[in-house]
């Protein structure tokens, strides 16, 4: 859904709208000027950042077992919506919840203000636990290794590409 500027990539998506971008950042005579107006990959020339709501969910049959994840992006200002989803042959509920949030964040155009609505596990993880885990060398309160660390780290990195991210249990 590049026409919206809302989305950047999709594992599986519905409601396709395709339009080629008019220009590519970092090319042509204004490349240097464009690089000055970028901060951590975010275009600072955009007057008002896009407000995007991402609802996400994941589950599996059995735990572990076959699973799926889904994320829905909604941009109220344009009334545009896009859905992405995926399946995994053998996984856990927590991995699917994390994957849904990660894919939603990655899919939204960088530099947006995101409202992430999803599972208590992911929301608490991002708002309460992650900072403690990092400070404790990725060990939880029981001194055990944090499960799904690679997904948590990927989500942390993905979130950095947006202006603001709010987390809500939904």
Range of the domain at 92: 2-169
CATH of the domain at 126: 3.30.420.10
pLDDT of res. 48: 85
Query: Which segments in the chain show pLDDT lower than 50?
Result: 1-10, 14-39
Whole-model pTM?
0.74
Each residue's pLDDT tens digit, 91-126: 999 999 999 999 999 999 899 999 999 999 999 999
**Which burial class, exposed, middle or buried, applies to 96 when counting CB atoms under 10 A from its CB (0-12, 13-18, 19+)?**
buried
Report how far residue 94's alpha carbon sits from residue 33's, in angstroms, rounded to the nearest whole number.
43
pLDDT of res. 34: 39
What's the total number of domains in the chain? 1
Task: Identify any residues that bridge with 67 across adjacent strands, giving them in sequence order.
Answer: 60, 88
Report how far residue 137's alpha carbon sits from residue 94's, in angstroms, rounded to the nearest whole number.
21
Report how far residue 106's alpha carbon sits from residue 8's, in angstroms, rounded to the nearest whole number.
8
């Amino acid at each position: 859904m590049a026409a919206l500027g809302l989305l950047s990539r999709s594992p599986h998506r519905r409601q396709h709208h395709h339009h080629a971008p008019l220009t590519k950042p970092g090319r042509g005579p204004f490349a240097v000027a464009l690089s000055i107006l970028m901060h951590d990959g975010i275009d600072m020339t955009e007057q008002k950042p896009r407000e995007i709501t991402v609802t996400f969910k994941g589950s599996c049959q059995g735990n572990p077992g076959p699973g799926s994840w889904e994320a829905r992006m909604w941009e109220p200002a344009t009334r545009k919506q896009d859905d992405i989803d995926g399946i995994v042959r053998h996984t856990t509920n927590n991995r699917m919840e994390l994957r849904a949030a990660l894919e939603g964040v990655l899919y939204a155009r960088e530099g947006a203000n995101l409202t992430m609505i999803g599972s208590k596990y992911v929301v608490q993880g991002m708002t309460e636990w992650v900072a403690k885990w990092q400070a404790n060398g990725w060990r939880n309160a029981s001194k055990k290794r944090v499960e799904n660390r690679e997904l948590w780290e990927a989500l942390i990195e993905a979130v950095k590409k947006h202006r603001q991210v709010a987390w809500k249990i939904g």
